């Protein structure tokens, strides 16, 4: 089975391949720091959108893939 990310054909270790899994862990770690800085009203959606759109953050390709994936799957739940 390959990674859940579209266009990624690496073998998955959980839902994602090892590179995307690592990116996801980093996103979760970073988000808790941002939430401390911006307060608890700062949401994951705002953070993920920032990761994708803010060029200054220079998010890696793997991070952007995960951010887009989480945003898309969140929308599906609504
Ligand atoms: Zn992957």
Angle at 21 between CA 19 and CA 26, to 5 degrees: 95
Residue 38 lies in a domain: yes
Q: Write out the residue range of the structural domain in which residue 45 sits.
A: 18-77
Quick: pLDDT tens for 3-32. Answer: 999 999 999 999 999 999 999 999 999 999
Please, are residues 70 and 20 in contact by the beta-carbon 8 Å criterion?
Answer: no
> Which residues are in the CB-under-5-Å shell of ion ligand 1?
3, 5, 8, 10, 17, 20
pLDDT averaged over every residue in the chain: 93
Per the structure, the count of domains in the chain is: 1
Q: Given a cut of 90, is residue 78 above it in pLDDT?
A: no
pTM of the model: 0.88
Report the DSSP beta bridge partners of residue 70.
none
Residue 8 lies in a domain: no
Q: Given a cut of 70, is residue 77 above it in pLDDT?
A: no
Residue indicated by tokens 């945003």: 71
Residue 42 lies in a domain: yes
pLDDT on residue 68: 96
Q: How far is the CA of 20 from the centre of ligand 1 (A)?
A: 5
Residue indicated by tokens 């060029």: 55
Q: How far is the CA of 17 from the centre of ligand 1 (A)?
A: 4
């Amino acid at each position: 089975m390959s990674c859940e990310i579209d266009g990624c054909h690496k073998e998955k270790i959980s839902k994602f391949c090892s590179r995307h899994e690592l990116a996801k862990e980093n996103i979760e770690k970073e988000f808790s720091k941002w939430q401390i800085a911006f307060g608890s009203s700062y949401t994951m959606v705002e953070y993920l959108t920032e990761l994708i759109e803010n060029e200054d953050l220079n998010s890696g390709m793997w991070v952007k893939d995960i951010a887009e994936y989480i945003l898309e799957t969140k929308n599906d739940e609504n």
